[in-house]
Amino acid sequence: MPLLHSIILGEGTPLLILHGFLGMSDNWKSLGNLYAKEGLQVHLIDQRNHGRSFHSEEFNYEVLSQDLKNYMDHYRLAEAIILGHSMGGKTAMQFACSYPVLTRKLLVADIAPKFYPPHHQSIINGLLNLDFDQISSRSEADGQLASHISDWGIRQFLLKNLYWVDKDHLGFRFNLKILSERMEEIGESIGSTDTYYGPTLFLRGDRSEYITEGDLPEIERHFPNATLTTIENAGHWLHAENPKQFFAQSLAFINS
C-alpha cells in the first residue's frame, strides 16, 4: 500500500500532525519545529489526495485512519501522540477509536465528532474555475481566484499548494477532482459507537463555530477522558491565528 509523505523533525516521543481539508504538511512546519525543540519527534504528514502524498479515488475516514496505521507500521512506531486539525482532526479521532493501543494521547483542533453539512462549495467552485492554460504565475492564479474567493488569507492558504506540473504548466498538489466529488465524506461523523478512553484534548477558537456547547455531550460520549480548551482571538485556523497560545496549551497537555 502507498506510504504517506511526511516531514520528520527532531527526536523523541512521536507526535503525528494531520492538516485540514486542502492543506498540507508545510502548514505546520513552524509549530512542528517548536514541538521538536521540546523533545518530540514530529511527523508532519500529508494525507492522501493532499500535498505530496498519493492520489486515490477512495476517500473516507476509515481509509485515512488506515493510511496512518500503515505509516506507523512502516516507521515501527509502537505508539504516538496524534494531533489533527479540522479534517485531520476527524482522521485523528477515527484513528484513536480504531487503534487505541497505538494512540498515546489525542489532540483535536476545532472539530467535533459530529456530521457537518458540506460548506466548502464556494471554494471548490473557485478552484474548479481556474484555467491553468491561461495562468503562468502565482499572481495570475490569485487574480483569477479573487473573483470567486474574496478572503485574501484563504486564497494564500490555497495557493501554497501550487507547483509546476511541468516547465510550462502550474497545478495544485491536492487532488481537486476527487475532493470535489467527496464533499459529503469530508463532513462525515465518526462511527456512532466509536470510543477512545485515552487522554484527549479538544481545542477550539473563540471566534469559531465548529465546536459549540451543544457538542459537548457527543464529545464526552466518544471521548470520556476529554477536556476542552478555548484559544483566544482565533477562528477555525486557531493554530495559525494564535500559534503562541495554541502551542502553550497543546504542549502542556502533551507533557501532563
CATH assignment of the domain containing 203 = 3.40.50.1820
Instruction: Identify whether 174 is part of a domain.
Output: yes
> Is position 110 within any domain?
yes
Whether 1 is covered by a domain: the verdict is no
Q: What percent of the chain has pLDDT over 70?
A: 100
Same-domain pairing of 131 and 201:
no
Residue from 53, 236, 239, 250 carrying the catalytic annotation: 236
Q: Averaged over 178-190, what is the pLDDT?
A: 90
Q: Show the 3-state SS of 119-155.
A: CCHHHHHHHHCCCCCCCCCHHHHHHHHHCCCCCHHHH
pLDDT at residue 225, rounded to an integer: 98
Average pLDDT for residues 184-195, to the nearest whole number? 90
Q: 74 and 11 share a domain?
A: yes
Given 152, 181, 210, the domain boundary residue is 181
Least confident of 6-20, 102-116, 142-156: 142-156
pLDDT number for residue 168: 83
Domain annotation covers residue 152: yes
Residues 67-77 have a mean pLDDT of 98
Of residues 6, 65, 86, 98, which has the active-site annotation? 86
Assess whether pLDDT exceeds 90 at residue 147. no
The whole-number average pLDDT for the span 199-224 is 97
In this prediction, residue 86 carries a pLDDT of: 96
The answer to the question of residue 251 being in a domain is: yes
Are both 164 and 84 inside the same structural domain? no
Residues 112 and 125 in one domain: no
Q: Are residues 83 and 138 in the same domain?
A: no
One domain for residues 133 and 20: no
The yes-or-no verdict on residue 192 having pLDDT over 90 is no
Same domain, 246 and 131: no
Across 202-214, average pLDDT: 96
> Final residue of a domain: which of 136, 166, 181?
181
Residue 36 within any structural domain of the chain: yes
* pTM tops 0.85: yes
Q: What is the pLDDT of residue 183?
A: 86
97, 223: one domain: yes
As a whole number, mean pLDDT of residues 125-147 equals 90
The answer on 127 and 52 residing in a single domain is no
pLDDT at 39 over 90: yes
Please indicate whether residue 86 is annotated as part of the active site: yes
What's the structural domain count of the chain?
A: 2
Residue where one domain finishes, among candidates 181, 202, 230: 181
The reply to whether 104 and 193 lie within a common domain is yes
Host domain of residue 73: 6-116+187-255
Whether the per-residue pLDDT at 122 is higher than 90: the answer is no
pLDDT over threshold 90, residue 118: no
User: Per-residue pLDDT for 120 more than 90?
Assistant: no
Q: Let me know: does 197 contact 166? Beta carbons within 8 Å.
A: no
Res. 191: pLDDT tops 90: no
DSSP the chain: -PPPPEEEESSSEEEEEE--TT--GGGGHHHHHHHHHTTEEEEEEPPTTSTTSPP-S--SHHHHHHHHHHHHHHTT-S-EEEEEETHHHHHHHHHHHH-GGGEEEEEEES--SS------HHHHHHHHT--TTS--SHHHHHHHHHTT---HHHHHHHHTTEEEEETTEEEESS-HHHHHH-HHHHTPPPPTT----S-EEEEEETT--SS-GGGHHHHHHH-TTEEEEEETT--TTHHHHSHHHHHHHHHHHHH-
- Note whether 149 and 222 are same-domain residues: no
Q: Which of 23, 140, 137, 135 is nearest to 89 (CA)?
A: 23
Assess whether 17 and 81 both reside in one domain: yes
